[in-house]
Amino acid sequence: MKVKKIILIGPPGGGKGTQAKHLEAEYGTIQLSTGDILREAISSGSDLGKKVKDIIEGGGLVSDEIMIGLIKERLLSNDVKSGFILDGFPRTISQASALNDFLEENSMKLDAVLEINVPDELLIERITGRFSCDNCGQGYHDSFKLPKLEGICDECGGTVFTRRKDDNKETVKTRLEAYNKQTSPLISFYKKIGILSVIDGNQDIKLVTKCIKEVLDA
């Protein structure tokens, strides 16, 4: 099976993480999320990792230069030779251009850029309805997945549940506005290159996976 090199683009709550796990299992690729890469850099204790730690702990944003450096380093790792799924990168045109240059220099080529498209109204419902078991972390939802027995976790029997403080309507709206503003130029960028495919994320998870596989296996 051909090694797959993929970029996943999608809003918070759009299902990127879920689909990335399916793709990892199907194609043997490695999911590379920016959050994981930053945490790996910090835990490594390297000079760059210490710099990242200082920036994050100080409430700052990691610069394009640092983020691109970390991504380049990660893409040259041995475990990525089986393919990769970039999740959360690139976020800007400058990051996308730098990534393209790097891939060309290293004789790599993207197979697809997949935009998982979900209407804002549905995303707000998805995110604001989330809650989880305080004991084991099992996730639930007011509309889509309630515990089988009210107030009792299916997995561990716990009775205490929590919601993220930022999973409220106002905060989610702000996050989506920022995402849409930031991402629209990126969508145009990859559309011009001719490797963008838009996936309807407003359907059953298995159907979303099926649509993605149809694009990748074409």
As a whole number of angstroms, the distance between CA 79 and CA 32 comes to 11
Angle at 26 between CA 23 and CA 27, to 5 degrees: 80
Angle at 210 between CA 207 and CA 215, to 5 degrees: 130
Give me the count of residues in the chain. 218
Which of 53, 72, 91, 191 is an active site residue? Answer: 91
Which of 53, 72, 175, 213 is an active site residue? Answer: 175
pLDDT at 3 over 80: no
Cβ-contact 118, 15 below 8 angstroms: yes
Beta strands in the chain (DSSP E): 4-9, 30-33, 83-87, 112-117, 130-133, 139-141, 161-162, 196-200
Question: 74 catalytic, yes or no?
Answer: no
Q: Say if pTM beats, i.e. exceeds, 0.85.
A: no
Cβ-contact 208, 20 below 8 angstroms: no
Which of 50, 81, 109, 164 is an active site residue? Answer: 164
Q: Kindly state the average pLDDT of the residues 184-196.
A: 92
Q: How confident is the model at residue 35 (pLDDT cuts 50, 70, 90)?
A: confident
Note the Cα 128 to chain centre separation in Å.
19
Cβ-contact 114, 8 below 8 angstroms: yes
Q: Kindly state the average pLDDT of the residues 123-142.
A: 93
Question: 16 catalytic, yes or no?
Answer: yes
Question: 163 catalytic, yes or no?
Answer: no
Which of 130, 145, 163, 191 is an active site residue? Answer: 130
Cβ-contact 201, 117 below 8 angstroms: yes
Average pLDDT, the chain: 91
As a whole number of angstroms, the distance between CA 72 and CA 66 comes to 10
pLDDT at 191 over 90: yes
pLDDT at 190 over 90: yes
As a whole number of angstroms, the distance between CA 96 and CA 215 comes to 21
Q: Which residues contact 113 (CB under 8 A, 6 or more apart)?
A: 6, 7, 9, 190, 195, 196, 197
Which of 4, 5, 16, 74 is an active site residue? Answer: 16
Q: How confident is the model at residue 1 (pLDDT cuts 50, 70, 90)?
A: low
Question: 164 catalytic, yes or no?
Answer: yes
